[in-house]
Amino acid sequence: MKIHPTAVLSGEIELEEGVEIGPFCHLQGHVKIKKGTVLEGHVTIGCPWGQVEIGESNHFGPGSVIGGPPQDVGYKKEKTRLKIGDHNVIRECVTVSIGTAKGDQMTTLGNNNFLMAYTHVGHDCRLGNHIVMANESQLGGHTVIDDHVVISAVCAFNQFSHIGKFAFIGGSSVVNKDILPFSKALGNHAVCRATNKVGLLRNGFTKEQVDSIHRAIRIILIGCDTIEEGLQRIQKECAPSEHIDYFIQFVRQSKRGIAK
């Protein structure tokens, strides 16, 4: 364990072997960090009221503020949480808030994610695994991002948005509805415009799987008068698979509506 002499640790701080704390870092409140995680200079982790749990082999860039109070005017210093998994890269000046009592009481970030400089993850957000967020993209509270999503730079997401697996969001988009899994979305406000075929093939999907997913996306976007009609067509016309089952479930459970 390496802790720079200028670092300040106050509160209930638990550090496993192999953790590195760089110069002028500040850890406060209840913070637990597992082995192999590195904090560069001027990183702030935790706040007096929150609980932050960070997994193994994460890397935090200078100026990042992780586990700070939620940016919510209704927050009354309740003891809420932030949980971060393993092998994440969180770059310069990224901010990730703890949860709120009126939400899930916890913000979560999975494994193997890459959050570039100046990105923001709001309170009660739930992020999966293998997500890329490019510079200056911002997630409003309660946003849900499923696995393998790529978010381009300078995008904004309204509260309670849900982004499906393997979606690609084009640069400078404003997302105010749910984005279909496996799709490419773009615009202000963002709409699903195509199937993310290149991304799917790069991630090991077969041509047959991509063709079936593409058909399902086209049915929802342009091939039906109602969502229920579209789902019935998908069940009849698309080859059954775990991907199609997930797609149907995503559409059925959408609360904000599909961006199309």
Catalytic residues: 123-124, 141
Residue pointed to by tokens 């971060």: 84
Instruction: Kindly state the helix (H) or strand (E) to which residue 237 belongs, with its residue range.
Output: helix 227-237
**By C-alpha distance, which of 3, 56, 67 is closest to 31?**
67
> Cβ neighbours of residue 142 under 8 Å, at least 6 residues apart?
103, 104, 122, 123, 124, 125, 159, 160
- CA–CA distances in Å: residue 27 to residues 8, 94, 106, 162: 6, 16, 19, 31
Instruction: Kindly state the helix (H) or strand (E) to which residue 199 belongs, with its residue range.
Output: helix 197-202
Strands (E), 110-244: 114-115, 120-121, 126-127, 132-133, 138-139, 144-145, 150-151, 156-157, 162-163, 168-169, 174-175, 183-187, 190-195
Task: Report how far residue 7's alpha carbon sits from residue 64's, in angstroms, rounded to the nearest whole number.
Answer: 14
Task: Report how far residue 207's alpha carbon sits from residue 85's, in angstroms, rounded to the nearest whole number.
Answer: 32
Using a 10 angstrom Cβ sphere, with 0-12 exposed, 13-18 middle and 19 or more buried, the burial of residue 256 is middle
